[in-house]
Structure 1
Amino acid sequence: MSAVEMLFGGTLALGCVLAMVSDARRRMIPNLLCGLLLLVGLAYGFWQEGLAGLGWHAAHAGVALLIGMTLFAIRWFGGGDGKFYAACAAWFPLQKGFLLGFWIALAALALVFVWFTVRKLQGKPTFTLREGKSAQLPFGIPLGVGTLITYAMQLPI
């Protein structure tokens, strides 16, 4: 693995961890972090395959932003989650969209299982409007985990 590849991978890992921690603690993912991850992801696409790579990575980010904002509009996602999803998608060409979605969905399923189990053990209702943001599922966690798994799968062994 080249030094540039390690720099890109480290940037993605750090960005995902920061977003996951922020979402878990405050239920928000900073716009600046999403913007930086998006730009570096697009730069990664350009570094990998030139203008064609940039185009495919940008297309994936655009599709992901549309999906994320649709999920936000129907209140299944927070706005930060939609932007974080687009930023994560920028790291992969459009052709890897289903793979990224698969790993995000699997991580989300695991998070939902853990979330409901912990809340049940704590004697708290699984869904409530009275507890505020702390009762909301931090969906940035499966987004980050799914992104890191997808990225790791494309690395040479």
Structure 2
Amino acid sequence: MILTILGGLFLALCVFAALHDVNRLTIPNWLNLTLAVLFIPAAFVSGLPLEILGGHLLAALCAFVIAFALFAFNVFGGGDAKMIPAVMLWLGPNVAFEFLFAMAIAGGACALLILLVRKTMPVEVLPGAVRAPFEEKAGVPYGVAIAIGVFVAGAGSPFLSGVLRQISFFG
């Protein structure tokens, strides 16, 4: 029960991060910290062996190193580079590649959509809440892609599978 509540809160915060990223092109530090810190009570109540928890920590550490290398080369923004390791804590190594693949596809689709809209529509006609990514030379709100990756791969996570099963469109 508690794990389901914590998992639901984590997923809701991922959606909030995506929406915030669309609106402001940033993911706040407090949000990424909350995503990571929520893992601690989830790990405690999960009853999973230390080896599995260690695998989740190792996956997050690898994601941290890679994401910050990509941040250093201006591939990701700082908020994205912080959100990915926080998310990997919850997902773990068993679904890492599924998450990365879904995130990459979603990120590419977001970038294509943004380019298409920029070429075909004046930014002034877009609602203010979603206008930021469509401004000339604005970045891609990659928090959307990260959140999509979480929902695609999350069913394979021992921390998120229960809550995702309760959402009807995830089976």
- Report TM bin, short chain: 0.7 to 0.9
What is the TM-score of this pair, normalised by structure 2?
Answer: 0.77
In structure 2, what is the equivalent of residue 31 of structure 1?
29
The one-letter amino acid of 1:12's match is F
Give the Å deviation of 1:95: 3.0
Give the Å deviation of 1:88: 0.8
What is the TM-score of this pair, normalised by structure 1?
Answer: 0.83
CA-to-partner distance for each residue in 1:112-155, whole Å, 9 max, x for gaps? 2211111111257xxxxx946xx111111101111122113553
**Structure 1 residues 49 and 59 mapped into 2: Cα distance closer, same or farther (>3 Å)?**
same
Q: Aligned to 1:49, what secondary structure does the other structure show?
A: coil
Q: Does the aligned pair in 2 maintain the 1:41–1:88 contact within 8 Å?
A: no
Tell me, in whole angstroms, the C-alpha distance in 2 between the residues paired with 1:43 and 1:5. Answer: 8
Q: Does the aligned pair in 1 maintain the 2:95–2:156 contact within 8 Å?
A: no
Q: Does the aligned pair in 2 maintain the 1:42–1:91 contact within 8 Å?
A: no
Higher relative contact order (CA 8 A, sep 6+): 2
**Structure 1 residues 136 and 115 mapped into 2: Cα distance closer, same or farther (>3 Å)?**
same
Aligned pairs for 1:1-157 within 5 A: 3-46=1-44, 47=46, 49-122=48-121, 131=136, 135-152=138-155, 155=161, 157=171
Greater displacement, 13-22 / 44-53: 44-53
Structure 1 residues without counterparts, runs of 5 or longer: 125-129
Q: Does the aligned pair in 2 maintain the 1:68–1:82 contact within 8 Å?
A: yes
Q: Does the aligned pair in 1 maintain the 2:91–2:150 contact within 8 Å?
A: no
Tell me, in whole angstroms, the C-alpha distance in 2 between the residues paired with 1:131 and 1:106. Answer: 23
Structure 2 residues without counterparts, runs of 5 or longer: 124-134, 166-170
CA-to-partner distance for each residue in 1:6-63, whole Å, 9 max, x for gaps? 2133112111011111111111111111111112235434525132222111111111
Which aligned runs of 4 or more in structure 1 are off by greater than 6 angstroms? Answer: none
Q: Equivalent pairs: percent with the same residue? A: 30
Give the aligned length: 148
Tell me, in whole angstroms, the C-alpha distance in 1 between the residues paired with 2:117 and 2:47. Answer: 42
Q: Aligned to 2:140, what secondary structure does the other structure show?
A: coil
Q: Aligned to 2:27, what secondary structure does the other structure show?
A: coil
